[in-house]
Structure 1
Amino acid sequence: MTAYAIARLQDVTMGPEIIEYLKKIDATLAPYGGRYLIHGGTTQVLEGSWQGDTIMLGFPSLDQAQSWYCSEAYRRILPLRTANAVGDVILVEGVEEGHRGVDILG
């Protein structure tokens, strides 16, 4: 089942390290079927507060998403982002086609 890596990044220092991270991340995604779905697009806040840039990556499965995040290739570049941005990152499994709200009731 499809899975997603979602990040909300704030206080990004756009310097040489973030640029290097951006140049290298695509190569870390490819072996795991990862692809960008959202990358800092315009955000319209409808409820609550939401600050920062939203990034969402799609993967074929939660296992693939976890394998990417834990991969040696990604771990090598991760400090380039964490030293230059504050944020939250989660992995979440998607739902099957045709899912309805009541489906979580069992």
Structure 2
Amino acid sequence: MAKGYWIGRVDVHNDEGFKPYSAANPAILKKFGARYVVRGGKFTGVEGESRARNVVIEFPDYETALACYRSPEYQENIKVRQPHSIVDLIIIEGFDGPQP
């Protein structure tokens, strides 16, 4: 079964205000069996527009990734994040087919 992923690109304009959102996420994500694949780190934007931070979070499957996003806990945490950042987030199903 293919994994599910959140792929986020983030610009934070108030680090102190953003900290409570970041601090609450691990407990929420753990409940859904998620793990960070990318959380910040060095990057080079080679095409298109970039944001200052990037995150990729892996879930057991696509449905679980959606369930986490739609959960009451995460929906409340979004309200904490929104005044302090701009976020582009997609939820996508991983590829589970033959590799090159």
Same fold (TM > 0.5): yes
In 2, Cα distance between the equivalents of 1:84 and 1:52?
14
Q: Deviations over 1:21-70 (max 9, x none)?
A: 11111110112111111111111122333232111100011100000001
Q: Secondary structure at the match of 2:84?
A: coil
Structure 2 counterpart of 1:70: 70
In structure 2, the residue matched to 1:13 is 14
Matched, 1:47 2:17: no
Q: Distance in 2 between matches of 1:2 and 1:96?
A: 8
Q: How many residues align?
A: 99
How many angstroms does 1:20 deviate by?
A: 1.1
How well do the aligned residues superpose, as a CA RMSD in angstroms? Answer: 1.5
Residue in 1 that maps onto 2:37: 37
After TM superposition, the runs of 4+ consecutive aligned structure 1 residues lying more than 4 A away are: none
Aligned to 1:104: none
* Preserved contact between residue 24 and residue 77 of structure 2 (Cα < 8 Å): yes
5+ residue gaps, structure 2, are none
**Preserved CA contact (<8 Å) 2:36 2:56:** yes
Larger Rg: 1
Give TM-score, length-normalised by structure 1.
0.84
Identity %: 24
* More displaced 10-residue stretch of structure 1: 66-75 or 3-12: 3-12
Deviation for aligned residue 1:79: 1.1
User: Which residue identity does 2:60 align to in structure 1?
Assistant: P
